[in-house]
Chains A and B, each alone.
Chain A
Amino acid sequence: MEDKKVILSVKDLVIKFRLRGDILTAIREASLDLYEGESLAIVGESGSGKSVFTKSFMGLLDANGWIDSGSIMFEGEDLAKFKTEKEWLKIRGKKIAMVFQDPMTSLNPLKTVGKQVQEAIELHQDIKGDEAKDLTIQILQDVGIHDPERRYNQYPHEFSGGMRQRVVIAIAVACNPRILICDEPTTALDVTIQAQILELLKGLKDKYNLTTIYITHDLGVVANVADRIAVMYAGDIIEIGKCEEVFYNPQHPYTWALLSSLPQLGVKGQDLFTIKGTPPNLFYEIKGDAFAPRNPRALKIDFVKRPPYFQVSPTHKAKTWLLDPRAPKVEPPESIRILRQQWEVGNNG
């Protein structure tokens, strides 16, 4: 992974919103190197900043939000400095595309499915008319829509939820983007359909040479699709590493808590694990490790000083003082040990 080419590089990104006269900081100096061809999953509870972070790569922040500082380097340009829609149109849809959770919000109910895909092609590629239509039918086929000639002339309401999501994916890949961001792409779908869409996305990634970012709260989905995992908390990536590293050797207490919440760890007749307290109020300045107030194992320094990244391996790092050589030895919670055991048993047997 280390010798892979960086396709997008985010440095110390700060994103703020103005809300009823007050200012909240949604992204707090987050950094990320995205590697060409990889599949990165971003996980974290809702409100942690996953959508805001990735929307900023496409100039899709709500009108009351702005990039306050930091940079987003992509193809030699700093996207954080973009000011006009015209600049964004070179990137959005064309170089970086997005698939949202609810396909209905991304589709126009009054236009046939074929037209919508074809428009995306005509807008971003130098193809028109019959040629564009042929390509549309080809793409509809690629995303697993049977009988694409007939389906071309149908409207979104004639499609099931899973089929609609395929159409949205078709529009996203129609312009051959380099990066595809999937924001909770399967959350609204039944598990069997979810499994099919994930298979589809993985297949398209190879076929279209995509770099993909998955945003999801489902750790099962993460295990399926991710090469690497970024764990987000209160607007920062507090741990990042290869999929196996984060699952089998998590380091940040928040990652421990996230994994401990898995219903698979539940014991019948006992309470499920819950993370105590609530995420920090983003209107106030956050001191130290943002997770400290909810972390029963927090150290004194966690309340005072924000931890830097500590490398765990060349591909794995986490922002927790527990990794400082001077820190006392703190064992992960019982649930993490149980998880490891389950995995070891499962993987050897």
Chain B
Amino acid sequence: MDKKKEVLLEVKNLRVEFGKRKKRFVAVDDVSFHIYRGETFGLVGESGSGKTTIGRAIIRLNETAGGEIIFDGKKINGKIDKELDKEITRRIQMIFQDPMASLNERAKVEYIVSEGLYNLKNYKTDEERKDKVEKAMLDVGLLPEFLSRFPHEFSGGQRQRIGVARSIVMEPELIIADEPISALDVSIRAQVLNLMADLQRKKGLTYLFIAHDLSVVRFITDRVAVIYKGKIVELAETERLYRNPLHPYTRSLFSAIPIPDPRKERAKKLEVYDPSCHHDYDKDPPKWVEIEPEHFILANERELEEYRKMLAKNGVQAIG
């Protein structure tokens, strides 16, 4: 991979906990990854694995219990000054899964799309604000006339466009899209994905794309991380990972993707992941290791041996 790529976001040994003392629960545990400017980075894993929690920690909605989140060279988790807080509120935006639940039903679209601008007051005149809002509407393929309407007057796909407008109006650099198409009808999904790709090209956006439709993730992401119970177990360039998944959890996840081809789907073998029989971590604990360039995996020494052999079988030169 190109060495000159600029890292926009870096997450280092991130830990997020919920609850106190006895009820304490570690939702995100020692998670590290970075996202290059301009790329689409995918985060996949079963529900409850900690994907949303990571997204919310980045935009400071969840407190972090350990580790660092560095955005464009500056640490943005923990205590930060007001200026920086304002700055990242603008530069990092999040799009949520359910456009219905995430839009204030009693507010007009105009207010919904303007909300972030109102909060930051980063415009000089009301004219300027209106201008930005109308541009954002056009950018997502909606008519500025719609601004005087209410969310319930729109279809699911249009509502998600409003959700996108509301984030791009801030002119962010990083957008965290948390299952942005899961609640949409299949026929609308492709339209929203096309819109997101189009905006990325035009505005040089960087995406952290959280999703559970693994076929879609393969199509739209450049790199992807697989998370299991709060820990990232494998991370690599998307095509590379889909072709050669190494970690048994990744393998089980990918083997479960239904293939829309009856002969292949019926011939395929499901792999089952059982952490208690796959790993023996008592004496030989796992580490986060770069097994081939840009391909990271959580494994201990014995497992690494095995994974290197698997790579060699597929004609790939491992590191170490």
Q: Which residues of A contact B (CB under 8 A)?
A: 45-46, 161, 190-195, 199, 217-224, 226, 243-244, 247, 259, 261-264, 266, 268, 271-275, 342-343, 346-347
Contact = CB atoms under 8 A, between A and B. Distances in A.
Interface string B270-282: 1001000000000
A274 to B, nearest CB: 5
A190 B266 contact: no
Q: Please indicate which of the listed interface residues B190, B262, B266, B273 has the most CB atoms of chain A within 10 Å of its own CB.
A: B262
Contacts of A347: 261, 263-264
B186 A261 contact: yes
Nearest to A217: B186
Interface string B159-196: 00000000000000000000000000111001101100
Contact of A247 (B197, B258, B260): B260
A70 to B, nearest CB: 28
Nearest to A195: B256
A223 B265 contact: yes
B253 interface: yes
B248 to A, nearest CB: 12
The secondary structure that dominates the B interface is helix
Nearest to B255: A195
Contacts of A273: 190
A192 B264 CA distance: 17
Interface residues of B, number: 35
Contacts of B270: 195, 199
A272 B219 contact: yes
Given A219-B260, A224-B262, 4 more contacts: A45-B186, A223-B261, A346-B261, A346-B264
The 7 A-B pairs with the shortest beta carbon distances in the complex, nearest first, are A220-B258, A219-B260, A272-B190, A223-B265, A266-B219, A195-B256, A191-B256
B289 interface: no
Nearest to A219: B260
Given A220-B265, A268-B219, A272-B193, A191 B253 contact: yes
A199 B256 CA distance: 11
Nearest to B272: A192
Nearest to A160: B48
B259 interface: yes
Interface stretch (B126-134, B210-218, B290-298): B210-218
15 contacts: A190-B47, A191-B256, A192-B256, A194-B256, A220-B260, A223-B262, A224-B262, A224-B265, A261-B186, A271-B197, A272-B193, A274-B191, A275-B187, A346-B263, A346-B264
B53 interface: no
Contacts of A194: 256, 258
A192 to B, nearest CB: 5
B87 interface: no
Nearest to A346: B264
Interface in B201-238: 212-216, 218-220
B185 A45 contact: yes
A191 B47 CA distance: 10
B259 A272 contact: no
Contacts of B265: 220, 223-224
Nearest to B213: A263
Contacts of A45: 185-187
Nearest to B188: A274
A220 B261 CA distance: 7
Contacts of B259: 220, 223, 264
B105 interface: no
Contacts of A271: 194, 197-198
Contact of A264 (B215, B253, B256, B266): B215
Contact of A191 (B187, B257, B264): B257
A244 to B, nearest CB: 6
Contacts of B264: 223, 343, 346-347
A259 B190 CA distance: 13
A273 to B, nearest CB: 7
Given A222-B260, A223-B260, A192 B253 contact: yes
Contacts of A191: 212, 214, 253, 256-258
A194 B260 CA distance: 15
Contact of B262 (A190, A244, A268): A244
B263 A244 contact: yes
A247 B261 contact: yes
B215 A190 contact: no
B32 interface: no
B46 to A, nearest CB: 4
Contacts of B47: 161, 190
Contacts of A218: 258
Contacts of B253: 191-192
A262 B260 contact: yes
A264 B260 contact: yes
Interface string B35-47: 0000000000011
A190 B182 CA distance: 12
B252 interface: yes
Contacts of B218: 263
A243 B262 contact: yes
Given A192-B252, A194-B256, A220-B257, A343 B263 contact: yes
A286 B261 CA distance: 33
Contacts of B257: 191, 220
Nearest to A275: B187
Nearest to B221: A268
Q: Please indicate which of the listed interface residues A161, A264, A347 has the most CB atoms of chain B within 10 Å of its own CB.
A: A264
A191 B250 CA distance: 12
Contact of A221 (B197, B212, B214, B258): B258
Contact of A261 (B190, B262, B266): B190
Given A192-B253, A272-B219, A224 B258 contact: yes
Nearest to A257: B187
Given A45-B187, A191-B257, A274 B214 contact: no
A161 B48 CA distance: 11
A191 B217 CA distance: 13
Nearest to B219: A266
